[in-house]
Copies of this chain bind each other. A is one copy, B any other.
Amino acid sequence: MGKKVLVVGGVAGGASVAARVRRLDESAEIIMFERGPYVSFSNCCIPFHISGDIEKSQDLVLMTPPEFDKQYNIDARVYNEVVGINKEEKTVEVKNVQTNETYTESYDVLFLAPGAVALRPQSIEGINDEHVFVMKTVPDVEALTTYAKDNDVKDVTVVGGGYIGLEVAENLKYAGYNVTLVEAQDQVMAPLDYDMVQMINREIMKNDVDLVLGDSVQKIAKDKVILASGREINAQAVVMAIGVRPENTLAKQADLALSASGAIKVNHHYQTSDPNIYAVGDAIETTCFFTGQKTQLTLAGPAQRQARAAADHVYGRTYVNTGVIGSSSVKMFGMNAANTGLNEKQCQARGIDYDYSYVIPKDKVGLMPDAENLFFKLIFQVPSGKILGAQAVGRGNVDKRIDVIATAIMLNGNLEHLKELELTYSPHFSTAKDVVNHAALTALNILNGEVKKVPVTKVRELVESNAMIIDAREEGEYALSHIKGAVNIPLSQFRDRLDEIPKDQPIYVHCRSSQRSYNMVRALGQLGYDHVYNLDGSFLGVCEYEYFNDVVSKREPIVTDYNFN
């Protein structure tokens, strides 16, 4: 007889551990405990049941206990909650939550994969009412859809603008509800920087979801939500998606070491403070790839890799723990967003010297009918040029570019590597100099001091201070819409109009996407202009960033008029 292996939690981490142990040891006795009704369901797909994209909630369940039994010889026990651990005896106490009976199981090795708990701040009045939902499990989504149908719900408020909040809001909208999305911070999608989420904001509003930023829920009444600002929002149902905390009840009870924020501490083999107890997934503390510091990350990919590594360690297999970089993606109506590594906020918080390039090229050859702008920000370390992170937003293939950056990060790539990457190219998929190469070239210009830039976030200040902004686009483009106060000197004319460009003050140049302005900036630099700045993101970037402000002369043509070269 092989080892007796117990697994607490039957979703991503737990199910992966159990299956891996079986492959390593046909003779192991494996029992997997799940307090809920389902094992092995797809958390990440839960929001898509709301719209019917995934028709039946049962489809979210990938494998049933009988299937675990037959295919893997794994005893998967649903409605069985492990309520206590006796580390000395190496036993757990299990409660059947349907019968309330308890029993004891012994173990050689115990794996904890309890996951995370959706936050429900008890300071909010009404937070526990029956029309307030979270969105972590299959019963959670069933409860919402059933309640909404039975109670003829028309208006739903989603609280929290993270990935789950966004996906829930989108799918509620697809299902026909009036949706309000409330986020306490000044931006949705915290993994992205403020400048990169403005396109997402617009997409949310365009699709008729009421987006409320910088306001928080104070009270939930029967038919409405009341915000800190006093604003009241009609809502017969509320979904709380403001985040999660590690599920550490059992670990606490067993006196396992926890981090300050309550995550289960593990060593690099995923052993807890008790070497016979491993922990993986959303409940644990993990290691940041960049800094080696402890961090938390609730993502399915790392959970699966942790599960495999932990099982392997039990069976004496070696494993290099790389730490986590944090890669994720989301679709929001017609807009896709993805990110990897560190963002600006995180670099600042960690005291890492960094800079970034921000480019807006087409995601495929511009002449192809479905080419779209791709907003891309590449963050690198100064002075090494080491890649730290990237963010991409657009209607096309943003995840591809971010996956390339994630790969480069984990293989210690720098800007020189990125600029030379030989990626696949055909006009349907990319450009000969892909977005990633383009961003790296721009970043090298910045790192090497060959081009000075001013970020899109500073344009309003420039306009208000009557700075010398040159619009290098053609006259027809300028006529349609332009930055207020900008002087139109097209790239095609500037060599004959140098007398209009003063040498004794800073010059800020932009075009549509930065290609023409970059050429003008390089030329002016050689012509004795010492203070020339390229406007990062150019007109496209300004239009997105300042869409709701009084910085461009006309707002509407901008959006439809992206195809100027």
Contacts and interface: CB of A to CB of B under 8 A. Distances in A.
A10 B370 CA distance: 27
A149 interface: no
Interface string A520-552: 001100110000000000000000000000000
Given A72-B519, A411-B417, A422 B327 contact: yes
A295 interface: no
A422 B522 contact: no
A305 to B, nearest CB: 6
A400 interface: yes
Interface stretch (A18-26, A76-84, A85-93, A480-488): A18-26
Q: Looking at A27, A411, A430, which has the most chain B CB atoms within 10 Å of its CB?
A: A411
A416 B437 CA distance: 26
Nearest to A338: B424
Nearest to A405: B407
B23 A301 contact: no
Given A71-B516, A427-B44, A519-B72, A410 B406 contact: no
A261 interface: no
Contacts of A527: 26
Contacts of A412: 411
Interface stretch (A52-60, A115-123, A210-218, A344-352): A52-60
A163 interface: yes
A205 interface: no
Interface string A491-530: 1110100000000000000000000101100110011000
A139 interface: no
A25 B456 CA distance: 28
A235 to B, nearest CB: 26
A408 B12 CA distance: 27
A331 B424 CA distance: 12
Given A26-B523, A368-B53, A526-B26, A423 B408 contact: no
Contact of A331 (B339, B410, B426): B426
Contacts of A73: 495
Given A397-B397, A411-B408, A422 B71 contact: no
A420 B320 contact: yes
Interface of A: 12, 19, 22-27, 42, 44-45, 48, 53-54, 59-60, 62, 67, 70-73, 163, 299-305, 320, 322, 324-331, 336, 338-340, 365, 367-369, 397, 399-400, 402-404, 406-408, 410-413, 416-417, 419-430, 432-434, 437, 491-493, 495, 516, 518-519, 522-523, 526-527
Given A26-B523, A53-B368, A403-B434, 15 more contacts: A19-B519, A22-B519, A23-B523, A24-B522, A42-B365, A44-B427, A45-B365, A45-B427, A54-B368, A163-B426, A299-B425, A327-B425, A399-B429, A407-B423, A411-B417
Task: Give the top 3 A-B pairs by smallest Cβ distance, nearest first.
Answer: A70-B492, A300-B432, A411-B411
18 contacts: A26-B522, A44-B425, A44-B427, A45-B427, A59-B367, A71-B491, A301-B425, A301-B432, A305-B433, A327-B425, A329-B428, A329-B430, A330-B426, A336-B429, A340-B424, A400-B400, A404-B407, A406-B422
